[in-house]
Amino acid sequence: MASPEVVPLKAPLGARIEGLDRADAGRPEIASLLNRALGEHLLVIVPGERMTPEQMRGFASAFGRPKPQVLRYKRSGTVPEVSIMVSTLMADGTTDKTALRSEDWHTDDSYLATPAKATLLHSIELPSQGGTTWFCNMHSVYEALPEAVRRRIDGKRAIHSYDTSRARNRPSRRTAQEVAETPDVEHPLVRTHPETGRKALYLNFNRLDRIVGMEREESDALLDALAVEARKPEHHHGHAWSLGDIVVWDNRATMHRVDVDYPVGEARVMQRVLIEGDRPY
């Protein structure tokens, strides 16, 4: 068996895995190579052929335990841990709601007490152009903040809400069961990566509602100031998709967003898996 190689991108985050037979991902030495690459580079790209939902669940298990996502209607019938994300742009200017939400920077699952450690996205159908997914290194965002700002936010906690008025648009409708599963939760504003010990700013422009212990106005002003740093291109890398790519990102220290800039009516379909995480600290 050839040993795969981790090739860092010339970018603020990310590495490509070259020479990996995806069927080997579950072998202990390969799984630990993949997880080390994820903790170090935060974004791991594994090129290859398209996989079935069953094969993808198997590959994803190298990163931990796959878990079904909250919105039931997205789950694939046969393998509930694999969701089918359709972000095709429709003629009426709409798209699937979650694709529009995904246009702004976010980290997946932060509205849960134990958000996903990582997300895997696997391209099944792609438009002829556009649809780049962008990633932001939240270690480097934190480290770029002035010392005084870091002192001000260290130890602060924040409320994440499924539907906050700070987000640019409203989320998908939830069933009563899904609403019951998504009460507001509190997380640290600065979290520590459990594997590398590095600190990361834990923001989510779609879910982060306010900082605990501050009036709305003061909280909004501070969150807006932090967003200015996170929106700087020097922290970003865009992934232009090839069919069959699997892209894995570390939700503990990144945000991501998608360009919904592709031609109307052209299919954009992804398979997606969330990996169980730990409570942020």
On whether the CB atoms of residues 164 and 208 are closer than 8 A, the answer is yes
User: Is 3 or 242 the residue whose CB approaches ligand OGA more closely?
Assistant: 242
Half-sphere exposure of 31 (CA within 13 A, CB side): 12
Distance between CA 157 and CA 75 in Å, rounded? 32
Q: Segment 105-134, which members bind ligand OGA (CB under 6 A)?
A: 108, 119, 121, 133
Q: Mask 212-251, x = binds ligand OGA (CB under 6 A)?
A: ----------------------------------------
φ, ψ at 269 (rounded to 5°): -130, 130
Distance between CA 206 and CA 196 in Å, rounded? 26
Q: Segment 24-43, which members bind Mn ion (CB under 5 A)?
A: none
Shortest spacing between CB 241 and ligand OGA, in angstroms: 8
Which three-class secondary structure state does DSSP give residue 140? helix
Distance between CA 87 and CA 1 in Å, rounded? 37
Give the largest CA-CA distance in the chain.
59
Identify the residue among 103, 108, 109, 209 touching Mn ion (CB under 5 A): 108
Identify the residue among 160, 256, 273, 280 touching ligand OGA (CB under 6 A): 256
Distance between CA 167 and CA 119 in Å, rounded? 21
Shortest spacing between CB 39 and Mn ion, in angstroms: 19
Candidates 1-9, 13-21, 86-94, 106-114 — which segment interacts with Mn ion by CB under 5 A?
A: 106-114
Shortest spacing between CB 98 and ligand OGA, in angstroms: 7
Q: How many residues bind ligand OGA (CB under 6 A)?
A: 11
User: Is 164 or 219 the residue whose CB approaches ligand OGA more closely?
Assistant: 164
Contacts of 54 (CB under 8 A, 6+ apart): 78, 79
Nearest to 274 by CA among 101, 81, 106: 81
User: Is 76 or 119 the residue whose CB approaches ligand OGA more closely?
Assistant: 119
Quick check: 258 binds ligand OGA (CB under 6 A)?
yes
Distance between CA 268 and CA 215 in Å, rounded? 41
Contacts of 112 (CB under 8 A, 6+ apart): 70, 182, 185
User: Is 41 or 106 the residue whose CB approaches Mn ion more closely?
Assistant: 106
Choose from ligand OGA, Mn ion, none: what does 82 bind? Cβ within 5-8 Å by kind. none
Q: Mask 69-98, x = binds ligand OGA (CB under 6 A)?
A: ----------------x-x-----------
Candidates 88-96, 108-116, 150-158, 223-231 — which segment interacts with Mn ion by CB under 5 A?
A: 108-116
Nearest to 214 by CA among 254, 172, 156, 265: 156
Nearest to 101 by CA among 261, 236, 275, 257: 257
Q: Residues interacting with ligand OGA, by CB under 6 A?
A: 85, 87, 102, 108, 119, 121, 133, 256, 258, 270, 272
State the residues that interact with Mn ion by CB under 5 A.
Answer: 108
